[in-house]
Structure 1
């Protein structure tokens, strides 16, 4: 059976697999994302090579790579999470197959349109290590003048707030991404400062579980951990503010939340719906739902890239 190698690169994990033309995932692997631009590139190249090797009954015919940041068909222009700039697609693999490079979230949005909770006017918003959106207008993905539309994770939600890896301050991603939620809990962050329960300065901050993840923060908040509840609540507030702005600008019918943070389910969706509605004084809020593809959206999007390059 013909298939494509699909690789979805995230800040925490790299998902890879073999995908059939109808979107069936025939083989799947997950690897940790290393630290350092060169190490990430080398890890992607090794993963593609491993996935491209012969397997009984499967014949890879192309490769689809979905990566975060600013992306063109020929270059990974910039990714704050990895520290890379202007990386050519040839750096990611030397396998003798057609290769297509695309933006991870926009590719995942295409997968949602093809296989999941699509629609004519939708924002697809995966929330993982970082945050970006796929903008669907009148049934088509909108890329903007330079192909970089949807960088909602780097829209400011707190003027002069927390520093973001992109170089700006107060970005949504600095408050509501999975990486930020975990880091703020571990360091004892509240609001735009690092404080402990008595209001002490950053140098006196109480450090919490150094291994806590965003999923742990959601669980601990539900169990009554005050710090976790504060961090989680501020993340939902920041997200509601960004989505209210998006709603007033582009009037989506639906907002589809994906990525690892979406696995929080009602712990995210219920307060987010309420707070989004509370920020929209004169209009009804759009529907807010979880992605039907879950964490597979990015991999399936990479698969669509691969099939496009194979055609």
Structure 2
């Protein structure tokens, strides 16, 4: 990952937290934009206090990082969480995987950390990082699509993030043709998790990962080839829908499935080319900031917050 972020406010150090379903990542960036410290812990799940338990961990990580660098005066924090997020009101509206509903993250996190805090969606933050620092810098109308266990996207139009109160970008739940007939959602066919599940169903073999399915496909395994090709077909369908509706000029593909590189991107480009008619052909590129793009985005959010407010004396 890149360990440097652009200066968004002079002489300001920030904390960044990226909450995922598996891990919580945290980092401290100094006033020059250099990452001083990094920590990662497994996300703790709690059926009755899901959001509070996550903030317990965030608070502890903040204490550890600031204790490691006592001379660094932290002036703001950025926090990204999954699910439906209303960044303006500072609310985690819904998280299917972690279990909260309508939780006031900004208010509660600011009380715990004693810092002004910018809240954002994890994929939107990754998209912001790619727009400012990565593959999407050259494009005004772009979609940053993160393909992992599920699929979500950050949508940019004329360089501005399209959020719709937290409901934009849920491309993983968009309808696509079901290989078995009818329709299903994109996540059920095109995600890394779906590739693994669908191969296990067809073959009776548990591979443990989408990369292993791709390896088997390259060796001639017909079930693996079928699952991989159907994933590409579903992704291409959704990409062409975005091009038709939004005029998207670039798709930046991140997440675990993007690690397949050209084995994913080349057939995806070819199929999109076949599906489109008179439309502008979008660039389909691999994300450059890797698995920590959301963390970098959280730091960018914190700096953007400080840029809009006077710094304390």
Same fold? TM cut 0.5: yes
Indicate how the Cα distance of structure 1 residues 215 and 41 shifts in structure 2: closer, same or farther if over 3 A, else same: farther
Structure 1 residue aligned with 2:284, among 283, 288, 304?
Answer: 288
1:5–1:48: 8 Å Cα contact kept in structure 2? no
Structure 1 residue 106, shift from structure 2 partner: 1.5
Look up the match of 1:33.
Answer: 43
Structure 2 stretches lacking a partner, 5+ long: 1-10
Q: CA RMSD in A?
A: 2.7
Looking at structure 1, the residues matched to 163 and 205 of structure 2 have their Cα atoms a distance apart, in angstroms, of 41
TM-score normalised according to structure 1 size: 0.81
2:160 is aligned to: 140
Matched-pair contact (CA < 8 Å) for 2:196–2:206: no
Query: For 2:15 and 2:72, how far apart are their aligned partners in 1?
Result: 11
Alignment of 1:43-192 (within 5 A): 43-53=54-64, 54-56=67-69, 57-73=71-87, 74-89=90-105, 90=107, 94-117=112-135, 118=137, 119-144=139-164, 146-158=165-177, 170-186=184-200, 188=201
Residue ranges of structure 1 left out of the alignment (5+ in a row)? 163-168, 189-194, 197-205
Superposition deviation, residue 160 in structure 1? 11
Shift of 1:228: 2.7
Contact 2:173 2:186 in 1 (8 A): yes
TM-score, normalization: structure 2? 0.81
CA drift at 1:41: 4.9
* CA shift in 2, pair 1:241/1:87, >3 Å: same
User: For residues 218-257 of structure 1, what are the alpha-carbon distances to aligned partners after superposition, in whole Å with 9 as ceiling and x for unaligned?
Assistant: 3333333333332222211110000011111111221111
User: What pairs with 1:242-281 in structure 2 (closer than 5 Å)?
Assistant: 242-281=238-277
Structure 1 residues 173 and 40, CA, compared in 2 at 3 Å: closer, same or farther?
A: farther
1:239–1:123: structure 2 CA closer, same or farther, 3 Å change rule? same
Superposed CA offset, 1:273-310 (max 9, x none): 01111111333421111112222221111112222344
CA contact (8 A) 1:2 1:58 kept: no
1:272–1:21 CA distance, 2 compared to 1 (3 A) = farther
